[in-house]
Structures are given as structure tokens and as C-alpha cells.
């Protein structure tokens, strides 16, 4: 019997996805560039699942029912192109390749075009949820042609995470829409992680709370409006002890944050499309700063920080909780606005509410807040701020955020994402920004012209001698 589907790339994600698909009753052929990985996978992890290993591409392709459906779970970048090149001689028009890695959306755009010209169907599919999600139910964000999606919809819906609103998978949109949406998902993830880290920093260095105390607070928060996967893992992380030293695990981890690039890509795309995503941008920048450990250590000795120990009063903890909620909301506001703009610009046809729905389960940014966002999102209100209930919700948090920002300034603690959430909101809600002065400066030194508030037209003046046109 031929396999229903094939999967190439048996690192952690590929292995788990193959097992997940096989456990839903499908026969899966697998292939990996390095044969040893395939052998170990079959020996150590495959039990009753119908998983057929292959050690050359040709036999792998021949083992698949037609039209062939092949998922790639290889490293993003050149490995995807290499694998596609190896597959192509063995494929026929109508066969489907699904790239499930974190590919850059522009690469997906190019591959979609190249493969379409050869009659090969292609889906760029974001997969979120890490290795656990891949095995037990990820959030899937496939984009490409509807025809391609229809070929695998049944399988994808079965393997995706489930919530009361259905499986966490939908046809996201045309061409590279799936990978664009996955990229922004990761950008939002960066911002929320950084906001949580900033709150932790204040708890640790201003309130002097122990890891156990912080863990209990995050655990309690996770039962309320902040309920989310990232808050949940935070309280679990904070209570974990290092077996060697007995210290809290977080205290023995070096404070240098790594990144694989999806946050940076989100910021780059946002800058290109002209959509403000300051929380995401600053979360990326803060990871970069974290890398300069030596410089930070030297400078910290030169510029002693002034810290005044503050009592962790009920009010202060409430303010911290409200600030985190506010920052989380702004991360979604910026991300969804970016997706809406990309959808318009690139003709993706993304349904924003559906994107939020498939982020309700399986993925890293799943959060109770998403239910609220889904009630108010629309193409016109993609930034989610133009609604009376949202307005009341946010107004109730602003004073808290101001208190926390004041405390962070008092204690010289960096809170770039909490701060940028505040400034993003304050800029967007300010009728008269000082951009008039910037226009004047541009016109002064570069004759870049300006518009006037009192009449139509484009103007330039000679700033030292009077109006010239």
C-alpha cells in the first residue's frame, strides 16, 4: 500500500509531526538527508505507527500515492531549496510540496512562483507549538493556493490542536500568507516574552522577591485575564531548581538571549510596509543588547544603579499585572495591524479573525486574551483599539502602567517593551504629534516640502528669507 503522505527532515519537529500524522491513521513515508537519523528515529520512536523509512529520494517519492503530498521539515533557507531541487526530477504536475519550516516569506513567494511554473503545487505552512505541539497538536498556518490546501485539509485538521472553536488550522491565504502570518506570530511572541521578562526583572530587582514567590504570583495571574501559555511556562520555569546547585534554575542561566531571526524579519517587514511595531522591534533590540554581556558588566560597575527597595504591595502587584496585560494587548495590536497591511499590499486575502482563532490553541502565543481580540477585530480595526469596550479595558490599565514606568525609572530598570507599549498607545491616541516640526526641519535643510493645516497643496519656503513657493 502506498503512503498517504511523505515527510522529509527528521530532526525534532519532523519526527514529532510524522508521529502525529501516523497516529491519526495515515501511512507516512519518511526520509532524511543523513540516514542515521532515520534509522534512529525508526528504532527509538516508531512503535505501532505506519511509518515507512526510505533512504533515497527516488524510492521515497515512489512510495507515495498520487497526487503526492510531501511535507518538508528541514532547516529554513538553502536546505529547503536543496531538498526541492532533489525532489523535482521525481515529481509530476499536480504533486504538492508543503514547507513546514520557518521560511522567510519572500523565499516562499519565490518558491511558489517557480514551482507553479512547473505545475507543482506548493504550500508555505507555519507550524507553531514547538516539539510538543508538533506531536500532540500544533497550530498550523498554511498559505498557498486553495487547490493545494484542499488536497491536505483533512490531514491538517486532524493533526492540529483543537479548541472549542475548532481545529487550529485554516487556509490562511494566497502564496506566502502562511509564512508571513507565522513570522508575525513569532514577532508577537518576542514582544510578550520580553514584557514578561521585564515584569520578572522588576519583581526580582525592585521587589526582591524569591523565585518561588514570583512563581506563585505568575501562577495566580495565569488563572485570570493573563492566562496564556507564556505566563504558564514562566511560573513553571520559576519554580524549577537546578539539580546540581539547588538554586532556582533561572539563576544559573546566563542572561544572553538567542534568536533565530523571525522577530527581526517581522520588524524588517513592518518597517518596509510602514506599520508601527515598536514592541516587537524593541524586543529584538533587547535580545541584541543582552548579548553584550562583557560590556554590560563593565559599564554596570561604572554607572552604579540606584535601586530603592519597594514593598510588593497588593496595589503594586496589580499594577504589574495590568501593565503586562497592556503590553500583551499592544503586541497583538501591532502584529494584527501588520498582517492586515501585508494582506492588502500582497493580496493575501487573510481573514484576521480566523488567524486569531487558530492561535487559540497549540501555538506559543495562545492566550485567553485572544477571545477578547476576536470579538473586536476587523480589517478596519486591525489594530484593535477602535472599540468602546476595548477603550474601557485599556483605560483601566493605563494608570497601572504609568505607576510601573515611574517605578522602573526610579529604580533605573530597563523596560523597553512596557515603555514602548505605552508610547505606541500614546502616539496613536495623540491628535497633534510634533511631526509638524519634523516637516519644517526637513524642508529647512532639504527642501522636502510640507502640507499646511489650512489649505491644500504642497509648500516649500526659504526658511531664512521667507516664502518662495
Q: Binding site membership for substrate: which residues?
A: 102, 128-130, 185-186, 190, 260, 287, 442, 448
Pick 228 or 419: Cβ nearer ligand NBP: 228
Window 274-313: residues binding ligand NBP (CB under 6 A): none
| Residue in 53, 101, 276, 278 binding ligand NBP, rule: CB under 6 A | 101
Pick 94 or 261: Cβ nearer ligand NBP: 261
| Residue in 32, 63, 211, 333 binding ligand NBP, rule: CB under 6 A | 32
User: What are the cell numbers at 227?
Assistant: 492566562
> Residue 399 CB, nearest distance to ligand NBP (Å)?
38
User: How deeply is 336 buried, as exposed, middle or buried, from its count of CB atoms within 10 A (0-12, 13-18, 19+)?
Assistant: buried
User: What are the cell numbers at 136?
Assistant: 500532540
Q: What track of x and - describes contact with ligand NBP for positions 429 through 448 (by CB under 6 A)?
A: --------------------
Out of 52, 109, 189, 198, which one is annotated catalytic? 189
| Residue in 76, 87, 250, 331 binding ligand NBP, rule: CB under 6 A | 76
Pick 26 or 265: Cβ nearer ligand NBP: 265
> Residue 363 CB, nearest distance to ligand NBP (Å)?
9
Q: Identify the three-state secondary structure at position 30.
A: strand
Q: What track of x and - describes contact with ligand NBP for positions 220 through 259 (by CB under 6 A)?
A: ----------------------------------------
Q: Do 271 and 263 meet the contact criterion of CB atoms below 8 Å apart?
A: no
From CA 387, how far away is CA 393, in angstroms rounded?
A: 10
Q: How many CB atoms lie within 10 A of CB 451?
A: 11
- DSSP code string of 233-263: HHHHHHTPBPTTT-SBGGGGS-S-----SHH
Asked about 182 being catalytic, the answer comes back as yes
> Residue 351 CB, nearest distance to ligand NBP (Å)?
22
Give the CA angle between residues 284, 290, 295 to the nearest 5°.
Answer: 135
Q: Does 74 bind ligand NBP (CB under 6 A)?
A: yes
Q: Do 104 and 133 meet the contact criterion of CB atoms below 8 Å apart?
A: no
| Residue in 73, 270, 369, 415 binding ligand NBP, rule: CB under 6 A | 73
Task: Please report where in the chains the cell 511554473 appears, as a residue.
Answer: 117
Out of 27, 69, 182, 264, which one is annotated catalytic? 182
Instruction: Annotate 265-302 with three-state secondary structure.
Output: HHHHHHHHHCCCCHHHHHHHHHHHHHCCHHHHHHHHHH
From CA 147, how far away is CA 157, in angstroms rounded?
A: 16
| Residue in 24, 45, 75, 368 binding ligand NBP, rule: CB under 6 A | 75
Taking the chain, what is the end-to-end CA distance rounded to the nearest angstrom? 79
Annotated binding site for NADP(+): which residue ranges?
A: 9-14, 32-34, 74-76, 102
Q: What track of x and - describes contact with ligand NBP for positions 2 through 21 (by CB under 6 A)?
A: -------xxxxxx-------
Window 109-148: residues binding ligand NBP (CB under 6 A): 127-128, 130-131
Contacts of residue 89, defined as CB under 8 A and 6 or more positions apart, other chains included, come to none
Pick 123 or 202: Cβ nearer ligand NBP: 123
Asked about 189 being catalytic, the answer comes back as yes
**Residues recorded for the chain:** 469
> Residue 30 CB, nearest distance to ligand NBP (Å)?
10
Pick 14 or 53: Cβ nearer ligand NBP: 14
Pick 44 or 311: Cβ nearer ligand NBP: 44
Half-sphere exposure of 422 (CA within 13 A, CB side): 19
Quick one: which of 30, 74, 72 has its CA closest to 51? 30
Binding part of the chain for ligand NBP, among 74-82, 108-116, 229-237, 441-449 by CB under 6 A, reads: 74-82
Pick 90 or 201: Cβ nearer ligand NBP: 90
Question: Could you tell me the CA-to-CA distances from 354 to 300, 338, 373, 389, 436 in Å, in that order?
Answer: 46, 15, 11, 21, 39
Give the CA angle between residues 6, 19, 236 to the nearest 5°.
Answer: 135
Binding part of the chain for ligand NBP, among 78-86, 243-251, 308-316, 397-405 by CB under 6 A, reads: 78-86
Judged by CB under 6 A, the number of residues near ligand NBP is 23
Q: Do 9 and 73 meet the contact criterion of CB atoms below 8 Å apart?
A: yes
Longest dimension (CA), the chain: 86
Q: How many CB atoms lie within 10 A of CB 32?
A: 24
Where do contacts with ligand NBP occur on this chain (CB under 6 A)? 9-14, 32-34, 37, 73-76, 79, 82-83, 101-102, 127-128, 130-131
Residues marked active site are found at: 182, 189
Amino acid at each position: 500500500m502506498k503512503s498517504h503522505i511523505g515527510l522529509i527532515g527528521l530532526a525534532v519537529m519532523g519526527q514529532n509531526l510524522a508521529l502525529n500524522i501516523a497516529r491519526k491513521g495515515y501511512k507516512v513515508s519518511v526520509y532524511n538527508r543523513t540516514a542515521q537519523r532515520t534509522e534512529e528515529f525508526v528504532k527509538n520512536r516508531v512503535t505501532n505507527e505506519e511509518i515507512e523509512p526510505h533512504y533515497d529520494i527516488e524510492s521515497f517519492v515512489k512510495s507515495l500515492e498520487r497526487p503526492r503530498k510531501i511535507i518538508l521539515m528541514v532547516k529554513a533557507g538553502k536546505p529547503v531549496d536543496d531538498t526541492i531541487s532533489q525532489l523535482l526530477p521525481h515529481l509530476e504536475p499536480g504533486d504538492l510540496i508543503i514547507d513546514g519550516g520557518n521560511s522567510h516569506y519572500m523565499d516562499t513567494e519565490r518558491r511558489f512562483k517557480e514551482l507553479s511554473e512547473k505545475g507543482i503545487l506548493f504550500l508555505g505552512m507555519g507550524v507553531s507549538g514547538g516539539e510538543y505541539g508538533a506531536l500532540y497538536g500544533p497550530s498550523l498556518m498554511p498559505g498557498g493556493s486553495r487547490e493545494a490546501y484542499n488536497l491536505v485539509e483533512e490531514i491538517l485538521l486532524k493533526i492540529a490542536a483543537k479548541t472549542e472553536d475548532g481545529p487550529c488550522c485554516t487556509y490562511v491565504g494566497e502564496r506566502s500568507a502562511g509564512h508571513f502570518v507565522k513570522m508575525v506570530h513569532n514577532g508577537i511572541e518576542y514582544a510578550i516574552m520580553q514584557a514578561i521578562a521585564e515584569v520578572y526583572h522588576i519583581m526580582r530587582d525592585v521587589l526582591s522577591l524569591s523565585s518561588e514567590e514570583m512563581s506563585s504570583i505568575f501562577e495566580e495571574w495565569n488563572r485570570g485575564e493573563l492566562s496564556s501559555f507564556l505566563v504558564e511556562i514562566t511560573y513553571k520555569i520559576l519554580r524549577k531548581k537546578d539539580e546540581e546547585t539547588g538554586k532556582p534554575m533561572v539563576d544559573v542561566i546566563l542572561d544572553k538571549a538567542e534568536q533565530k531571526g523571525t522577530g527581526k524579519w517581522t520588524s524588517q517587514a513592518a518597517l518596509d510596509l510602514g506599520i508601527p511595531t515598536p514592541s516587537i522591534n524593541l524586543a529584538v533590540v533587547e535580545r541584541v543588547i543582552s548579548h553584550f554581556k562583557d560590556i554590560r558588566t563593565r559599564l554596570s560597575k561604572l554607572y552604579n544603579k540606584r535601586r530603592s527597595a519597594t514593598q510588593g504591595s497588593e496595589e503594586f502587584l496589580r499594577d504589574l499585572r495590568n501593565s503586562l496585560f497592556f503590553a500583551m494587548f499592544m503586541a497583538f495590536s501591532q502584529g494584527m495591524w501588520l498582517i492586515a497591511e501585508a494582506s492588502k499590499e500582497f493580496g493575501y486575502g487573510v481573514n484576521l479573525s480566523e488567524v486569531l482563532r487558530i492561535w487559540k490553541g497549540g501555538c506559543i502565543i495562545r492566550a485567553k486574551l485572544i477571545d477578547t481580540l476576536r470579538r473586536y477585530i476587523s480589517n478596519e480595526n486591525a489594530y484593535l483599539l477602535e472599540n468602546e469596550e476595548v477603550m474601557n479595558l485599556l483605560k483601566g490599565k493605563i494608570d497601572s502602567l504609568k505607576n510601573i514606568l515611574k517605578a522602573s525609572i526610579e529604580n533605573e530598570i530597563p523596560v523597553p517593551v512596557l515603555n514602548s507599549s505605552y508610547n505606541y498607545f500614546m502616539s496613536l491616541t495623540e491628535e497633534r504629534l510634533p511631526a509638524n516640526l519634523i516637516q519644517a526641519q526637513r524642508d529647512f535643510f532639504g527642501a522636502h516640502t510640507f502640507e499646511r493645516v489650512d489649505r491644500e497643496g504642497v509648500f516649500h519656503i526659504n526658511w531664512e528669507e521667507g516664502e518662495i513657493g
